Structure 1
């Protein structure tokens, strides 16, 4: 049972860390870089990136962060671990909820605008996308997933002291 407990905690930590990296990369590199481009480039590049990110690697981390953290909570019910794990789970659920309620609708609306070469008013499409809202909520995801990762790292440290 010890190996299963540690494996769940490691999987939660790894998937959460991977997602913190994804959100952080968007926050400090991808969105600022795209923000400096013209409307056609922004719309086309964002649409392409959003289509590409829906893949097994991303989905494993995205869903895995919540599921593995929940499993770690269930398997590691020790009172010395549970507060850290529950806090990490709450943050991972928050990240999941923000993604589904804010980012997915914004991303889908931008993709639904169609081929940038056929859009008559690219500036209006970009404005409706609302880059500032997207980035603000992505900062919430970045900070929340990074905090969850830190909590899980601490839980691993505590777990190492418990047998």
Structure 2
């Protein structure tokens, strides 16, 4: 059982760290870079990025971080896992907030931008970009960057505590 707890906790930490990095790169590079482009370029580039990110590896990591965090919490409900339970549960809740934000804010905005059509065929690309609510997208992305990074930190600390418990026991 301890081996399973260890593997799941490590996997949850890695997946959550990867997702914190994905959200972070949008915050520090992708969206600031796109912000400087004209409307048609913004729409076309964003549509291409959004189409590319919806792939099995991304989806497995995005959902896996949550599933693995919850599994790590459940596996640590008793016994030697008690020392890490609070940290793992906090991580699961923090990362859950990033998932909820993604479904509530980002996916509807992304889908609306994709549904607008090909940038070259848009009569009013400025209106399409404005409807995308870029500032709202960016602000909520910063929130999910912070929550997923905090979840990663909680899982990292849980790993330290788990290692100490294994060494002592």
TM-score bracket, normalised by the shorter chain, equals over 0.9
Cα deviation 1:12-67 (Å, max 9, x = unaligned): 00000000000000000000000000000000000000000001121111000100
Matched, 1:79 2:76: no
Q: Distance in 2 between matches of 1:64 and 1:95?
A: 13
Q: Please list every run of at least 4 consecutive aligned residues from structure 1 whose deviation after the TM superposition is greater than 4 angstroms.
A: none
Residue 86 of structure 2 aligns to a residue whose secondary structure is helix
* 1:22-101 equivalences in 2 (<5 Å): 22-77=22-77, 78-101=81-104
RMSD, matched Cα: 0.6
Matched, 1:8 2:8: yes
Residue correspondences, number = 163
SS of the counterpart of 1:73? helix
Partner of 1:120: 123
Q: Is 1:162–2:150 an aligned residue pair?
A: no
In the aligned structure 1, how far is the partner of 2:16 from the partner of 2:61? Answer: 7
Structure 2: runs of 5 or more not aligned: none
How far apart, in 2, do the equivalents of 1:2 and 1:93 lie? 25
Shift of 1:79: 2.5
Matched residues in 1 for 2:6 and 2:101: separation?
28
